Amino acid sequence: MKALTAEWVEKAEGDLHSCLREVRARQHPNPDSACFHAQQCAEKYLKARLQEAGLAFPKTHDLLDLLNRLLAVEPAWTTLSPQLTQLVNYAVVFRYPGISASKADARKALVACRAVRRAVRQSLKLKD
């Protein structure tokens, strides 16, 4: 695995752990933060796979754009589209006043994030 790919994976794992802490928190849980970190985990895992494949990508939070760039090397990943569609707005929507995530939103975001994580880790031949 390329060194930069490994860095993307490490950053993605950090976001996963932040998401898990918020989802599991008994006192002062922050579902908004959990959703944000789930989105960030998925984004960084997609960028890790792009990096490993040598495919260029812009600075973007658009998970569907990242997926479309990957379909040339991972055509079966079209099945991830529903999870990525769910996560795509979490980069911004819950970070500002006006709308807040629920615990149920946070749990759904974690499930979606884990689906993306699993696919990328399998592709990179990493233990789940």
Distance between CA atoms of 8 and 44, rounded to whole angstroms? 6
Instruction: Looking at the chain, list the stretches that DSSP marks H as alpha helix, in order from N- to C-terminal side.
Output: 3-24, 31-53, 63-70, 81-88, 103-123
Q: Digits of tens for pLDDT over the chain (128 positions)?
A: 999 999 999 999 999 999 999 999 999 999 999 999 999 999 999 999 999 999 999 999 999 999 999 999 999 999 999 999 999 988 788 888 999 999 999 999 999 999 999 999 999 999 98
